[in-house]
Amino acid sequence: MAAMLHFRIPAPAALVLVLLQVGVMVVFIGWYGHITPFPSESTTATGGKVHVLLLSSWRSGSSFMGQVFNKHPSVFYLMEPGWHVWGWLQSPAAQRMRMAVRDLIHQIFLCDFSVMDAYMPINYNVSNVFMWSHSQALCSPPACPPVSSEHTMPQIPRCTEHCDVSGLGRAQVACHTYSHVVLKEVRFFELESLYPLLQDPSIDLRILHLVRDPRAVLRSREQSVEALLKDSSIVLGRNMLKSDSQLLVMQEICRSHIRIYDTAIRKAPDFLRGRYKLLRYEDVVRDPLGEVQRMYDFVGLKMTEPLQEWLHQVTHGKGKGTPSDAFKITERNASAVSQAWRTGLDFNKVQLVQEVCKSAMSLLGYRLVNSEEEQKQLNIDLTRLKKYSFSWHSTNSSATKTT
């Protein structure tokens, strides 16, 4: 066997060599970190993209809150993609379609729009997407072919005229260029079906849960009975006649708010903690800039000056809202509109909705009124500012107030 050569390096020289190697490594890491900063685990998996689900119910101010995101230049926004599932599958019950809605928004969050093919006619155009012309992202390049700067018409008519292209290829390309993908949805009645999205490392999901005083929701629903008839039938799991009481739907909506809040606050799994934020519509219209800023902070968006100006204009207009404006975002006195139920809803209906939504109202901080006189005294604030917790026992249990 050949003799092995052994080299003995003096201790001082060995120490110098080790220090030299450490120095080289430090310089290399510093240089590499400067060129390519070490991202967090979440950023590595998602490419830095943030995904936001604005979760609410019909007539709760969700269209307005959706526009708060839609107007932001960093956001790719779509309004209620679950509408396609409910319209296409024709199932009589919302419960049976929740997984299909979940899988649809999952793929859209990943900017995979091929999932829409299952709910579209053959050779469809972008105009087949629900409320497509209200999405600033779909009405701008690269989703929309560049339009001459000479066109000064408002976004919706301009978009309808110039941006209706075949398929969603351009939209999918556009989705990848935004830092945030925001979807507004009113077709989830619990959080458990969303757990796979919250556990998917390729999605950095934040859930904003928007609620509104059930008495105001009932008044708004009564102004939009025809438009909500089909969805109401699906919520109840049966055909709903125009003469049917809206209270049955309100009861389901209020129960869903209890389930969602309780899951997120009292018994949240680790992967949900820090990813849920409750918003009350009344708080937003009381302090639009402050509440929207806090919402932006939660999802990692920066406020812009044009957004501040738009937000002030749209919430401080002179309009009071009419039934024909039910699904439009117009300049109006938002604070006055939020209180319109107090003079426009019969007290007997107020009592009925308070009865079916009592637990949810206590949980979310809405005070009950005990007389018609109290209802119409607008100087009495019916939104508590204290914190509330809820102890879950059953669908008929009541909330426990804590301060």
Determine contact, residues 209/295, Cβ cutoff 8 Å.
no
Determine contact, residues 208/295, Cβ cutoff 8 Å.
yes
Dist CA 305 CA 284 (whole Å): 18
Residues 330-371 have pLDDT tens digits of: 455 777 788 899 999 999 999 999 999 999 999 999 999 999
- Give the residues across from 207 on adjacent strands: 53, 276
Q: Which helix (H) or strand (E) holds 79?
A: strand 75-79
- For 380, residues 6+ apart whose C-beta sits below 8 A from its C-beta are 374
Answer yes or no: is 143 within a domain: no
Domain count, the chain: 1
Answer yes or no: is 19 within a domain: no
Answer yes or no: is 135 within a domain: no
Residue 118, both tokens:
């299952």
Whole-model pTM: value is: 0.81
Answer yes or no: is 283 within a domain: yes
Q: Which helix (H) or strand (E) holds 197?
A: helix 195-199
10 Å Cβ neighbour count for 55?
Answer: 26
Mean pLDDT within 152-159? 79
Dist CA 106 CA 98 (whole Å): 12
Answer yes or no: is 343 within a domain: yes
Q: Is 52 helix (H, G, I), strand (E, B) or coil?
A: strand
Answer yes or no: is 345 within a domain: yes
Percent of the chain with pLDDT over 90: 62
Q: How many CA atoms lie within 13 A of 345 on its CB side?
A: 28
Question: What pLDDT shows up at residue 32?
Answer: 32
Question: What pLDDT shows up at residue 337?
Answer: 82
Q: How many CA atoms lie within 13 A of 179 on its CB side?
A: 10
pLDDT at position 305 over 50: yes
Question: What pLDDT shows up at residue 385?
Answer: 59
Answer yes or no: is 5 within a domain: no
- CATH number of the domain to which 88 belongs: 3.40.50.300
Please give the mean pLDDT across all residues of the chain.
82
Mean pLDDT within 150-158? 72
Answer yes or no: is 231 within a domain: yes
Which of the two residues, 157 and 290, has the higher pLDDT score? 290
Which of the two residues, 226 and 114, has the higher pLDDT score? 114
Residues 22-69 have pLDDT tens digits of: 444 433 333 333 322 333 334 446 678 999 999 999 999 999 999 999
Domain that holds residue 95: 49-111+176-376
